Each structure stands twice: as structure tokens, then as C-alpha cells.
């Protein structure tokens, strides 16, 4: 490890989510804990979400659904962190909003318009709608964030990469607070057909991470947004600290465009580095929010990765996946699951891996089947990991630590 | 095909209202700035006008337009 240099500590002060479990970060974890499955008709749709309930007509019609989700989640997170008036110079406020795909529905609509009515009928709102950075731009405009802002694209790791980039931005001193997260809305016929063609989707439409019968993932849509702040500045202004973003690491398989590296070694390295980045040891980890997609390959490789990284400590760490409750939110998944992990630290309740009834003998970690349980701690603020592994071989692990004084 | 001012006005108001502003605010004297109608909205309006009336409004034409009335008058004049 390189010699310790001064790095600013970074805390979470706001959470916002739009998921198949409803609108809000609290319902996400509460309903998951209660065993609610937001998946129906083979996908995790945000059925409660009507853009005009939350946004002006102008905002709603100018934004693709993925950006609408992001804007609503960001509004909740910023409302919790500081409300209307930001306590920082606008040029010290950053924004990183990830997506795996961008404005899929807007692309499709405009291609149909072009095919039926000609190229001159293509909407001037096409590009502003579907460009993958549209969500980041929308959040900055709505909230006057004038520091660094951009989108991040790394398929199913995008949302976690956004949190990692935001963490580094604050640690390095380029921003004092960053609104970060991910958004996805790819539940179109073309989106389903494309993932189906890869044989990645569950033909039964049931997500069962780490179960012997797991047969693929179930797509979902939504967004998760967090407000990260420099810990010292947040303390000075008296903000409520929800958790600390203690560590982050990212590695790459460099193996196959969709299949994970089967040994899990590159993913394991990301887990090890994230723990080290948090200044912790493997046996300090109290909970892991798994990537847990319910595909044969991911769940096997992730299990190997956790074992390789944690060694003897692996067998005693509770590991659960959010995906059987909400589906796989692709570019939003990493951010939404980081939020679920922060809520786990806040509430001291580990939600179970729903749908895991028939354990795979090869996958023998403690995957928290059945019911929620208390987060065990050793007197210190608890440490949790949130794993994200993507098509393209991108591996991201976030290490989140409970706020002092929390369970 | 002749087009009346009333027909154009009604179509323009309906189109602009779909972009966000309240229909009651969209009077002939209302400026696009007041209505928060920007250049992207005006390109969309031009697409509707071209499809309905065959009138082509280019970028430089749009720059001249300050009020809803300006747009209606230009469209009626060119359609005639």
C-alpha cells in the first residue's frame, strides 16, 4: 500500500430512489425487508411513477424516462441533504449520473418517426433526450450545480462507478459535495428482445440469486441518487450524516464482453482493494450487498470472488442481493444498491435474498435466505460492501461505513 | 388552399401549450421569453407548421420572432 497521504473523508447526507418498490429511498429498503417483490410480468417496472406528478410539463416532455427518474431521485436526495438553498459555492458542487444505455425509448420513437415520416420530422428533442449525459445535465440545471458534471457508462457497474467518481472528486478537493447515482429505463420491446437474444434473461421471469434453479436476470428500471459531501464541511454545517463512503475500487476482467472471468479473480481484487481503501481488514466486513444477478455465471463467479477476497472471513459474512426484489436496474443498479446498503447500515436490518429457497451446494456463503435479520456489529460502526460487476468486465466495489453512533 | 388567421392562431396556441405554458398565457402579445419557449421549442413549432401549411420557417426567420403574434403573422403571410 502506498504511504498514507491526507485524503478528505466523504459522507453520505442525502438519498433518493425511484424503484419498482415505489418512490423513495426508505420504501426501497423497508419493502425489500418485508419481502415485497416489485417484479411483475417478467420485469421490474416503476408502475407508480407518473412524470407529471413530480415534474413540470416542460421538464417531463424534454426528458427521457431515465432522466425523469434521475431528476426525481435527485430531488429527494438534495431535499434530505440541504433542501432549497445549497450550503456551498455552486462551482464546488459536482454531479455524476450514470446510465447503462441512455434514452432508449427516445431513440426508438425517433427512428420510427424517421422511417414513417422522413428525416425532416425527427424531433429536435431527440439528442437532448437520449444522450447518456442527459440525466446529469438535467440535475445540474434544476439544482444549479456548476462544478464538474458528466455521465458515466459501464453497463451494470455504471451507478457504482458514479459513486466512486464522486468520492474521488471530493477526496481530491475538486468539489465539496457531489450529487451522484445512476438511472435506467430500457424496458422497451427492443430492450427486452436485445437482452433476451443474449439468453441473459430469466425465461421464467423469476429472479433467484444464488439459488440452484436460477436461470437468468430480470430487467428493472429506476434511479438512485446520493448526495456525498466532504465530511468536515458536512459536520461544520451540522448536516445529518447517514453513512461514510469509506472505500472504493474498480478492476476489469479483460476476459469476455459478457461472461465474467470464471475464477472471479479480477472481481476479488476489486473487493480486496475496496476493503484496503477503507483502511479495513476482511474480517471487519459486516455485510455484503451482492451483485447477485440470478445468472448461473455471475452468482458462481461472485461467490468465488468473495471467498478469494475475504478468505476465512467469507463464510461468516451475511451476503444478500436486492435484485430479486426489484430486478436488475442495469446502469442504476450500483447506485440503488449502494442506497439499500446505506439504509442497511442506518436501520441495522439486513434484508434477505428473496427467492432463494433451494441453495446451490456450490454456492455456500451465508446468502440470508428467508427473513431479514439484524446487522451484527462488534462495537464499531459497521462496514458493508456493495458489489457491481458488469457486461464488459467492469468490476466495482464500494465500501460503506455506518455513521458513528448508529447500530 | 387558403388559411385563415384564426386557424393558424388556434394551431399555434395548441402547439405551444403542449410545450408547457398554460394556454391562457398564450396571447398574441405574449413573448416567447415570457412563455419560456426556447429555440428547441420553435424548431418543433416549425415542424408542425411545415407539415400543416407547407410553410418553411428557417433558423434566421425564427430569430426575428419575439411574440406569438409575430409567428402567427409570418405563417399566415407565407401560407397565403
Per the listing, cell 462544478 goes with A147
**B1 pLDDT exceeds 60?**
no
Where, residue-wise, is CATH 3.40.47.10 in chain A? 11-236, 248-401
The answer to whether residue A156 is catalytic is yes
Contact B43 A124 (CB under 8 A): yes
For residue A4, what pLDDT is reported?
53
Beta strands in A153-209 (DSSP E): 177-184
Which of B20, B40, B51 comes nearest A124 by C-beta? B40
The answer to whether residue A180 is catalytic is no
Nearest-Å Rg of the Cα atoms of chain A is 20
- For residue A129, the chain B residue with the least C-alpha distance is B40
- For residue B38, the chain A residue with the least C-alpha distance is A58
* pLDDT tens-digit series, residues A313-324: 999 999 999 999
- For residue B14, the enclosing domain spans 5-79
Tell me the three state secondary structure of residue A177: strand
pTM of the prediction? 0.96
Size of interface A-B (CB pairs under 8 A): 23
* pLDDT tens-digit series, residues A75-125: 999 999 999 999 999 999 999 999 999 999 999 999 999 999 999 999 999
Which of A56, A121, A125 comes nearest B20 by C-beta? A56
* pLDDT tens-digit series, residues B7-59: 999 999 999 999 999 999 999 999 999 999 999 999 999 999 999 999 999 88
For residue A396, what pLDDT is reported?
98
For residue A405, what pLDDT is reported?
67
Count the neighbouring beta carbons within 10 Å of the beta carbon of residue A241: 17
Interatomic CA distance for residues A187 and A251, integer angstroms? 29
For residue B9, what pLDDT is reported?
96
Contact B44 A58 (CB under 8 A): no
Contact of B1 with chain A, judged by CB distance below 8 Å, is answered with: no
- For residue A55, the chain B residue with the least C-alpha distance is B20
CA distance B39 to chain A (A): 10
Closest residue by Cα to residue B67 from B32, B25, B35: B32
Catalytic position from the list A29, A161, A291, A394: A291
Task: State the helix-helix crossing angle for A189-197 and A104-117, rounded to 10 degrees.
Answer: 110
Per the structure, the count of domains in chain B is 1
CATH number for the segment(s) A248-401: 3.40.47.10
Interatomic CA distance for residues B26 and B23, integer angstroms? 5
Contact of B19 with chain A, judged by CB distance below 8 Å, is answered with: yes
For residue A5, what pLDDT is reported?
62
What CATH number is associated with residue B39? 1.10.1200.10
Closest residue by Cα to residue A97 from A181, A188, A216, A12: A181
- Pick one of 3.30.70.100, 3.30.2390.10, 3.40.47.10, 3.30.70.360 as the CATH number of A11-236: 3.40.47.10
Report, as ranges of residue numbers, the positions in chain A whose pLDDT lies below 50: 1-3, 406-407
B32-50 per-residue burial string, b: 16 or more CB within 10 A, e: under 16: beebebeeebbebbbbebe
**What phi and psi, each to the nearest 5 degrees, are found at residue A325?**
-95, -35
Amino acid at each position: 500500500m502506498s504511504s498514507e497521504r491526507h485524503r478528505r473523508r466523504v459522507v453520505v447526507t442525502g438519498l433518493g430512489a425511484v424503484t419498482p418498490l415505489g418512490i423513495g429511498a426508505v420504501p426501497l429498503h423497508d419493502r425489500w425487508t418485508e419481502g415485497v417483490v416489485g417484479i411483475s410480468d417478467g420485469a421490474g417496472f416503476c408502475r407508480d411513477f407518473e412524470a407529471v406528478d413530480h415534474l413540470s410539463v416542460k421538464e417531463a416532455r424534454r426528458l427521457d424516462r431515465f432522466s425523469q427518474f434521475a431528476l426525481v431521485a435527485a430531488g429527494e436526495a438534495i431535499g434530505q441533504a440541504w433542501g432549497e438553498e445549497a450550503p456551498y459555492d455552486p462551482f464546488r458542487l459536482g454531479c455524476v449520473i450514470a446510465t447503462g444505455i441512455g434514452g432508449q425509448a427516445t431513440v426508438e420513437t425517433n427512428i420510427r418517426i424517421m422511417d414513417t415520416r422522413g428525416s425532416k420530422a425527427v424531433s429536435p428533442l431527440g439528442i437532448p433526450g437520449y444522450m447518456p449525459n442527459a440525466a446529469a445535465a438535467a440535475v445540474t440545471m434544476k439544482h444549479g450545480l456548476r462544478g464538474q458534471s458528466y455521465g458515466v457508462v459501464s453497463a451494470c457497474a455504471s451507478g457504482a462507478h458514479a459513486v466512486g467518481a464522486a468520492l474521488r472528486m471530493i477526496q481530491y478537493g475538486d468539489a465539496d459535495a457531489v450529487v451522484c447515482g445512476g438511472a435506467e429505463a430500457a424496458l422497451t420491446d427492443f430492450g427486452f428482445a436485445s437482452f433476451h437474444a443474449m439468453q441473459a434473461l430469466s425465461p421464467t421471469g423469476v429472479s433467484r440469486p444464488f439459488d440452484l434453479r436460477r436461470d437468468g436476470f430480470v430487467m428493472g428500471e429506476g434511479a438512485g441518487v446520493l448526495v456525498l459531501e466532504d465530511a468536515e464541511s458536512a459536520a461544520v454545517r451540522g448536516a445529518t450524516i447517514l453513512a461514510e463512503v469509506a472505500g472504493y475500487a474498480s478492476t476489469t476482467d479483460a476476459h469476455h464482453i459478457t461472461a465474467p472471468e470464471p475464477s472471479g479473480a479480477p472481481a476479488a481484487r476489486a473487493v480486496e482493494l475496496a476493503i484496503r481503501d477503507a483502511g479495513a481488514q476482511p474480517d471487519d466486513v459486516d455485510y455484503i450487498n451482492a451483485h447477485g444477478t440470478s445468472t448461473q455465471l455471475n452468482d458462481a463467479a461472485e461467490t468465488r470472488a468473495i471467498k478469494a477476497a475475504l478468505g476465512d472471513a467469507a463464510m461468516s459474512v451475511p451476503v444478500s442481493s436486492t435484485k430479486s426484489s426489484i430486478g436488475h436496474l442495469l446502469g442504476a443498479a450500483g447506485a440503488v444498491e449502494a442506497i439499500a446498503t446505506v439504509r442497511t447500515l442506518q436501520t441495522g436490518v439486513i434484508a434477505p435474498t428473496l427467492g432463494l429457497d433451494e441453495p446451490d451446494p456450490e454456492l455456500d456463503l451465508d446468502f440470508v435466505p428467508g427473513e431479514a435479520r439484524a446487522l451484527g456489529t462488534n462495537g464499531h460502526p459497521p462496514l458493508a460492501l456493495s458489489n457491481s460487476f458488469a457486461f464488459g468486465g467492469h468490476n466495482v466495489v464500494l465500501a460503506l461505513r455506518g455513521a458513528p453512533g448508529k447500530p | 388552399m387558403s388559411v385563415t388567421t384564426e386557424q393558424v392562431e388556434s394551431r399555434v396556441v395548441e402547439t405551444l401549450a403542449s410545450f408547457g405554458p398554460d394556454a391562457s398565457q398564450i396571447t398574441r402579445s405574449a413573448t416567447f421569453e415570457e412563455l419560456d419557449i426556447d429555440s428547441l421549442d420553435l424548431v418543433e413549432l416549425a415542424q408542425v407548421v411545415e407539415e400543416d401549411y407547407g410553410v418553411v420557417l428557417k433558423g434566421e426567420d425564427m430569430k426575428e420572432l419575439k411574440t406569438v403574434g409575430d409567428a402567427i403573422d409570418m405563417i399566415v403571410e407565407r401560407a397565403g
